Amino acid sequence: MAVARAKDVALAARIDGLDLPKGGWLGEARSKAMDRLVAMGLPTKRDEYWRYTNPSSLVSAGAPTSAVFNPDDETPAFDQIGRLKLVFVDGVFDASASDDLAMTGVSIELLSDVAKTDIHWARDLYGVLETRGQSPVERPLAALNSAFATEGVLIRVSARAAKPIHLIYHSNSVTSDVMLHNCVKVEAGANVTLLESGPAAARFIQVMEVDVAEGGVCHHVRTQGRNHERCAATHVFARLAAKARFKSFTVTANGRLTRNEAVVELIGDDAAAHIAGAAMGDGDFHHDDTVFVTHQGERCESRQVFKKVLKNGAIGVFQGKILVKQGAQKTDGYQISQCLLLDEDSQFLAKPELEIYADDVKCSHGSTSGAIDETALYYLRSRGVPLKLAQSLMVLAFLAAAIDEIDDELIATDIRERLQNWLSRHEH
Amino acid sequence: MAMLETEVRDGVDRETVEAVQAMSGKYKYGWETEIEMDYAPKGLSEDIVRLISSKNDEPAWMLEWRLAAYRRWVKMEEPHWAMLAYPAIDYQDQYYYAKPKSMSVKPKSLEEVDPKLLATYAKLGIPLKEQALLAGVEAPEGERRVAVDAVFDSVSVGTTFKAELAKAGVIFCSISEAIREHPELVKQYIGSVVPPSDNFFATLNCAVFTDGSFVYIPPGTRCPMELSTYFRINAENTGQFERTLIIADKGSYVSYLEGCTAPKRDTHQLHAAVVELVILDDAEVKYSTVQNWYPGDENGKGGIYNFVTKRADCRGDRSKVMWTQVETGSAITWKYPSCILRGDDSQGEFYSIAIANNAQQADTGTKMIHLGKNTKSRIVSKGISAGRAQNTYRGLVSMHPKAKNSRNYTQCDSLLIGDKCGAHTVPYIEVKNNSSRVEHEATTSKVDEDQLFYCRSRGMDEEEAVALVVNGFCKEVLQALPMEFAMEAQSLVAISLEGSVG
């Protein structure tokens, strides 16, 4: 009981001063999310799914301060790609910096604009996939977001989107504490690419719910990085109907604490989900990928590919799970998590899980960890490549397998260049 | 043999299916020995702990140790993190001490042991005679002998070859005898690997363990024969709580075998054992188990609840431990034989084949804790599920910051027979230095590349080559089991991991 009471106190402190808006379709969704949150309480480091990542900075009453990152310090993300931009500054939509939201086959609305209406298509999505994703593993921060998110984007895609939609999250405040909630509904046969970039806030709690109907395709690529002091917990909840495809890739460089959760349900037959990530960490960097893929339909495919490069005491965490339900025959599940430790101080903590209840399936998982291959390094040096460059080449080669998960070559190139740039800044 | 009707998908080896069925179709050891027993009153209390201690003529320090454990246990909560579903255990609704009446005066030699007890072990294929051969086992080249400690419910019935082992300086006796005869050794090492605070079931064991085996191998000694303990639960509503302590002093070697069976009964019975291995510099211990407790009937009625804590402490440099386990019995298995690789250059190996059928549930695996430099560990786990069984591999590989240049290789494969069972893998990997290498694989396609290349160069296609290498390895594990288990191993040789799902 003492523990339960401590959780109540922590929750009360965390939500003190936050507004729980009532009314409209969203009011009901928020109050249900609040009920879920109260029932669960906030996570503590004693929880099984937080054993490797201390959630204290995410659950503390106030956001820890974070020095503002100067965005001019590097080329803006996805700059070479024709895209529709939506800009948020510390969680507030900046219309003047954003493009016109009209695009053929795509409806883009802001959560704050439609929250007060009585009915909205997003009612069947907002908090719905998040709720489904609360079992068997609780994700209280996602419920916190559903209850209190002040802004977000509601995207409904009914055809092939002419260009990618890019959500840019700027931050100008050392204490900003932001929760954004995005909903993406991809209708049958429709196709969309979502890009995300930017530090967002000193503390950022995000939820994105993605519902892909039959034959629909959703690509998601995001960069998180180089603002060293922020902490972030993001959640992607995706539900896939028959023949739907969902691909999500994240590249992360630094950040004091990043927890990226992905919860994917393959409901229909012949659906495919690929979740991948590349992370580079330096110093007091803590990066956590927590993935849960559920196979329910037959003949579905899922891939989890995660690579991390760590140095100077950075910590990398991977908690991946494939759950194959009874009847999900001919499932093809694959999971790999690999870590390159560049020095003695860094740590890799992994829990690659399988839970299988169907007999005609193929599921494999692998996890490796170690230092740079000295033989390969020696080979490069013997060919006249300087040590630092040789190391960089090896790191890029190591991360390449994760970047290969990106379908769009232009986007993949952008990511590769960004990595190269980050790598050169962190050489020493 | 209801299993035969199970639809088995293509790619799963027929022989494997039949072997799994044959193994669990009829439990061979389900008969009961009718023998008069002395019971302690049902239930658990400080008085019961005192009674067990006094029945074993224990010194005061041992009783204090037990009572401290009991007081701790009362405040502990039963863990439920394992993927096991079972009704709450009523710890007050069973006997904690049951001893055959004929054992009330401890027999001085095997000749004095109640013939009924001797017959029980003879029927199990473990004759308690100092003879070279075991029932049903072909005579191997040269003379091969196995010393046996037989534990029947709460007491050790007898230990063979004691005198001859003593000549080599090896102490092999029941733990109750060791507490009386060799208190200095017991006091020094008991609880030093699995402390009384370790976990709920281990703490319970500390309080109520009744007997078990004790082994001490002196420095530089290669134990002249294999040692074994055979555990038999016979009495109804009785838990068995045995404790095994093996100390391999510097430069010594011992191979130790363990077997277990129980009669068929409709009620569940609790078995909570603790095994501690202490391995000093350059010593090596091989510990092999064939766990064949009564698994319950097809509908999950009856069967043993097996909650076991086994741990080896490779305390010395260059020490080595090898756990081999074949788990076919028990309704519930909760067991993680672990290695603490404390000494530099120490090695731990874990080979496991776990077969769960009908309503059986197994949550088993290992922990490899690398503390010393240049330590090596290898985990090979094969899990097979059939019927409505759930089979989970749970393991931890931990590389501490000081465990420089250490290596771990883990391979765990699962095979499902039928679509109503489950196979799960829950590995924890914690790497805290960069000179160590950790590899976890759970695919049949990722077998030894050199072996694969060899097979392929001989014209085999990839799939054939993989199957050959994996099956060959599975057999290799089984063949590594000592002769004692030849009978069990033979029935397992038909198992192949073709069609593994990872």
CB A368 within 8 A of CB B439: yes
Torsion sign over Cα A75, A77, A79, A80: positive
What's the mean per-residue pLDDT of chain B? 83
Q: Which of A142, A195, A150 is nearest to A32 (CA)?
A: A142
How far is A124 from B237, CA to CA, in rounded Å? 54
Among residues B199, B201, B197, the alpha carbon closest in space to that of B65 is found at: B197
Question: Contacts of residue B426 in chain A, CB cutoff 8 Å?
Answer: 351, 353
Contact present, B170 and B221 (Cβ < 8 Å)? yes
> Does the beta-carbon distance from B418 to A359 stay under 8 Å?
yes
Q: Which of A253, A208, A204, A262 is nearest to A233 (CA)?
A: A204
Interface mutation target, options A306, A323, A359, A375, chain B, most CBs of B under 10 Å:
A359
* One-character DSSP codes across B221-281: -B-SSEEEEEEE--STTB-B-BEEEEEE-TT-EEEEEEEEE----SSEEEE--EEEEEE-T
- B12 contacts in chain A (CB < 8 Å): 359
Residue B162 has pLDDT above 90, yes or no: no
Give B30 to chain A, closest Cα distance, Å: 30
What are the distances in angstroms from CA A202 to CA A199, A229, A257, A317, B458?
8, 7, 11, 21, 61
**pLDDT tens figures, B292-341:** 888 888 888 888 999 999 999 999 999 999 998 888 888 999 999 999 99
Q: Which of chain B's residues have a Cβ under 8 Å away from the Cβ of A343? A: 434
Q: Which of B313, B229, B309 is nearest to B274 (CA)?
A: B309
Report the candidate in B327, B309, B376 with the shortest Cα–Cα distance to residue B349: B376
pLDDT at A125: 97
Contacts of A364 in chain B (CB under 8 A): 442-443, 445-446, 502
Cβ A365–B417 below 8 Å, yes or no? no
pLDDT of residue B8: 63
**Residue of B6, B414, B501 for testing the chain A interface, max A β-carbons within 10 Å:** B501
Residue B366 CB-half CA count within 13 A = 34
Confidence of residue B474 (pLDDT cuts 50, 70, 90): low
| Residue B105 reports pLDDT greater than 90 | no
CB contact under 8 A, A366 and B446: yes
CB contact under 8 Å between A359 and B439, yes or no, is no
pLDDT in tens, A235-260: 999 999 999 999 999 999 878 999 99
Task: Measure the CA–CA gap between A268 and A120, rounded to whole angstroms.
Answer: 25
Alpha carbon A232 to its chain centroid, in Å, reads 10
**Could A365 and B420 be called an inter-chain contact, meaning their C-beta atoms sit closer than 8 Å?**
no
Cα atoms in the 13 Å half-sphere on the side-chain side of A263: 20
Average the pLDDT over each of A134-148, B46-60, B147-161, B216-230 and give the range with the smallest value.
Answer: B147-161
pLDDT tens-digit readout, B179-234: 999 999 999 999 999 999 999 999 999 999 998 999 999 999 999 888 888 888 88
CA dist B120 and B128 (Å) reads 10
Stretch A348-365: mean pLDDT = 90
pLDDT score of A74: 75
Q: Which two tokens stand for residue B209?
A: 């363990």
Q: Which of A350, A363, A371 sits opposite B501 (nearest CB)?
A: A363
The whole-angstrom distance between B400's CA and the closest CA on chain A is: 10
ipTM of the complex: 0.89
CB A225 within 8 A of CB A196: no
Chain B closest CA to A391's CA: distance in Å? 15
The residue in chain B having the minimum alpha-carbon distance to the alpha carbon of residue A332 is: B501
Q: What is the DSSP letter of A191?
A: E
Residues in CB range of B47: below 8 A, 6 or more apart = none
Contacts of B403 (CB under 8 A, 6+ apart): B341, B370, B371, B372, B373, B375, B433, B436
What 8-state DSSP symbol labels residue B406? -
Secondary structure (H, E, C), A58-114: HHCCCCCCCCCCCHHHCCCCCCCCCCEEEEEECCEECHHHCCCCCECCEEEEEHHHH
Closest Cα to residue A34, out of A57, A55, A3, A11?
A: A11
Q: Tell me which residue in B404, B427, B435 faces A351 most closely, judged by beta carbons.
A: B427
Binary contact (B501, A356; C-beta < 8 A): yes
What is the model's pTM?
0.88
Q: Write the DSSP symbol of residue B452.
A: H
Q: Quick one: pLDDT at residue B486?
A: 55
